[in-house]
Amino acid sequence: MLTNAVRPYRRLRQTIYNIVAFTILIIGALPAVWIIFTAFRPGNEVNIRPAIWIPHRLTLDAFEKLFGGNTDVAAAVPVRSYMWNSIRVATLSTLIVLILGTMAGYAFSRFKFRGHTLIFLFIMLSRSIPGVALSFPLFLLMRKYDLVDTVHGLAFVYVAVNLPISVWLMDGFFRQIPPELDEAAYIDGCGYWTAFWRIDLPLALPGISAAAIFAFLASWNEYQLASLITGTPDAKTFPVGLYDFTSQFTVDWRGMCAMSVLMIIPAVVFVLLTQRSMIRGLTFGAIKG
């Protein structure tokens, strides 16, 4: 009888939780929905008062202007260059972060060496420094080695910024893999590298996917350091390029929103492609048999 009485209460509580979570999700998604609607709405509806949420009609004028439909806009805002630069910077930095972070995480999780804990804490503390404090030293370093306003220079900065989190994530994932598997591989004649490549790395793929999503999105959306290091279309990325839609007295909100939609699409596609592995990575080790 007690069990039957408790079940309705649990269902009601779960329903309330679902409603609250759904409400928070909708509120959090409102800015993105507004950006998408503004990108596709006619120009006469952008600054109208009171604001119109649902456009009366949809148009691609803002996107046509970005990609050459209006030569003045296309010349002033080189969207193709910004897109290509963002793809190169995010992809290059993510690949390097994954390679170094995976190998470092495996080393910290499997081997004990002199200064093991101290080095790991030093790597973690390096990520706690605010980006504002890093701006000036990074600019001086980039200028000294002629890396200012270059794609590979910006990618190098993102590697340094995102690597500590990747090392921390991969260290945690590798620690969830039983070391007995490595010991069995050593008994069968495998070396350290073979055991890592054939046993540990495949089991850590969910964690690698989670680290890849973090590194890619962090590089793709970053503005502060990119605005400091880049200054021309040869190296500017999407977030920095959004400022090109502002002038002394006006702001092209529709063009800015259209470019923001272009920024959202690759990030959403990347997350969808790795969604299954990301979910496995976030729950990896939560349940033990």
Residue 211 has pLDDT above 60, yes or no: yes
Share of the chain above pLDDT 70, in %: 88
Report residue 111: phi and psi, to 5°: -125, 145
Lowest average pLDDT, out of 83-87, 104-108, 216-220, 241-245, goes to: 241-245
Q: pLDDT class for 50, splitting at 50, 70, 90?
A: confident
Q: Summarize pLDDT for 20-33 with one digit per residue, the tens.
A: 998 998 898 888 88
Which range, 191-195, 218-222, 243-247, has the best average confidence (pLDDT)?
A: 218-222
Tokens of 61: 């004028």
Residue 287 has pLDDT above 50, yes or no: no
- pLDDT at position 280: 57
- pLDDT at position 29: 85
Residue 176 has pLDDT above 80, yes or no: yes
- pLDDT at position 1: 45
Q: In the Cβ-directed half-sphere of 243, how many Cα atoms lie within 13 Å? A: 12
Rounded Cα gap, residues 226 and 279, in angstroms:
30
Give the residue with greater pLDDT, 186 vs 76: 186
pTM here?
Answer: 0.81
- pLDDT at position 69: 56
Residues 61 and 69 sit within 8 Å (Cβ to Cβ): yes
Residues 157 and 229 sit within 8 Å (Cβ to Cβ): yes
Mean pLDDT of 45-74: 75
Q: pLDDT class for 191, splitting at 50, 70, 90?
A: confident
Q: pLDDT class for 155, splitting at 50, 70, 90?
A: very high
- pLDDT at position 73: 52
Nearest C-alpha neighbor of 93 from the set 256, 264, 182, 226: 226
Chain Cα centroid distance, residue 42: 31
Q: pLDDT class for 156, splitting at 50, 70, 90?
A: very high
Nearest C-alpha neighbor of 53 from the set 64, 41, 69: 41
Give the residue with greater pLDDT, 6 vs 241: 241
Mean pLDDT of 122-151: 85
Mean pLDDT of 181-188: 85
Lowest average pLDDT, out of 62-76, 90-104, 125-139, 239-253, goes to: 62-76
Average pLDDT, the chain: 83
Residue 141's alpha-carbon distances to 134, 135, 137, 156, 195, in angstroms, are 11, 10, 6, 11, 39
Residue 41 has pLDDT above 90, yes or no: no
Q: Summarize pLDDT for 63-106 with one digit per residue, the tens.
A: 888 876 555 554 567 888 898 999 999 999 999 999 999 999 99
Placement of tokens 């069968």 in the chain: 188
Is it true that domain 76-282 has CATH number 3.40.50.1980? no
- pLDDT at position 6: 59
Residues 39 and 260 sit within 8 Å (Cβ to Cβ): yes
- pLDDT at position 154: 93
